[in-house]
Amino acid sequence: MPSDILRKTVSVSIKPAPALKQGVHPENLRILPDREVRVALLPESSIFCSLWPELKEAGVSTFGAGASLTCDYGGSDFLWYRNNENGVLEFPEVWYDIKDCDSIWGVQQGDHEGRRNFALEVLDGKGGLAHRVSLKAGSDPSSYLEFVRINQASLDVSTKALSWWGFQALIRSRHDKWKSRTDLARRVERNRVIEFLASLANLHKQVRLTVWNGVIKHSRNVEFQSWQMRGHLLEMYGRREKFTLDSDRLTEAWVVQCRCFCGEEILEMYDYHGQLMASIVFSALSQSTMNLLPALN
């Protein structure tokens, strides 16, 4: 069952704080029904460098094609970062590839008792939610509000030529590659994937879980401790993590061998559009566990 920590990442009530719209230019502001206020921010990966560590802590969620990963983080988890020439910003566990067609929003949601909940949301070029940073009870709302004021922007930004094709192209190229590289990859029975994933909760060892979309790559070393099915939705829980996977969208699964001598293998799960839902890196699993993933090729 979910831990108390993960329950707190879903909805956190922050003590009364200044309103999000204070200090925001009207043209950058959106006031929506149900007590929701949004502020448009610069659509640049680099702005996340100044978000931590003053924020202190937050729940970070990434949403892929029928999968999601939610983790608790503190400011020390984001001390190291690297800006790449292609615009990708790397933190140890979260990579940002935000382009001009994407958007970033500061979000305030109020409840009936006048309390305010704050978050940052990244939407992809189609308007789909790709990533959310949610303030928690131990977060510093004043640093969040200052971050929003400094990075507010008009949505009318100029479109620059892309220096590379982005995460989505990398995902597509991997999917296409495995179809011909049977020396490295074997397609496995997708109907057995859920049983395999559930078995990981009994192993008491870490795996490397990654959820990708066209904007964010979010990875985490996690030791799963429990799992449950909610209809067709698989939910798995670690100490500070929650992973979900829509089994109805799962269409293909591949086990890929690492090309070095580490002995690691990667389970990659794809939906019916060939989009990577999630991947899990593992090593030294027992033969009985691996037998849960019979090969098709």
CA distances from 251 to 71, 91, 102, 193, 278 (A): 26, 31, 27, 10, 12
Decide whether 4-151 matches 166-290 in CATH topology: yes
Three-state secondary structure call for residue 12: coil
Q: What DSSP letter does each residue of 151-181 carry, written as one string?
A: HB--S-PPPPPPSS-HHHHHHHHHHHHHHH-
Tokens of 127: 């308007």
> Hey, what amino acid is at 163?
S
Question: Taking phi first (over 0 means left), then psi (-120 to 50 degrees means alpha), and beta for anything else, what does residue 195 get?
Answer: alpha
Beta bridge partners of 37: 31, 108
For 166-290, CATH gives: 3.40.1570.10
> Distance between terminal CA atoms of the chain?
36
The CATH code of the domain at 4-151 is: 3.40.1570
Collect the ranges in the chain with pLDDT lower than 50. Answer: 1, 3-15, 157-164
What's this model's pTM, rounded to 2 decimal places?
0.84
Domain definitions of the chain by residue range:
4-151, 166-290
Q: Report pLDDT for 297.
A: 57
The model's pLDDT over 81-117, given as tens digits with 9 standing for 90+, comes to: 999 888 899 999 999 999 888 999 999 998 777 788 9
> What's residue 17's pLDDT?
58
Tokens read off for 266: 């990667």
The confidence score (pLDDT) of residue 252 equals: 93
Measure the CA angle with vertex 253, ends 249 and 258; round to 5°: 140
Identify the pLDDT of residue 285.
78
> Are the CB atoms for 32 and 147 separated by under 8 Å?
no
Per-residue pLDDT, 156: 60
Element (H, E) at 269: strand 265-270
The predicted-structure confidence for 180-221, as pLDDT tens digits, reads as follows 787 788 899 999 999 999 999 988 889 999 999 989 999 999
> What count of residues does the chain have?
297
Which pLDDT value is given to residue 262? Answer: 65
Task: Supply the pLDDT for residue 240.
Answer: 95
Token pair 């979910």 is found at 2
| 172, 212, 271 from 246: Cα distances, Å | 20, 15, 9
pLDDT confidence of residue 254? 92
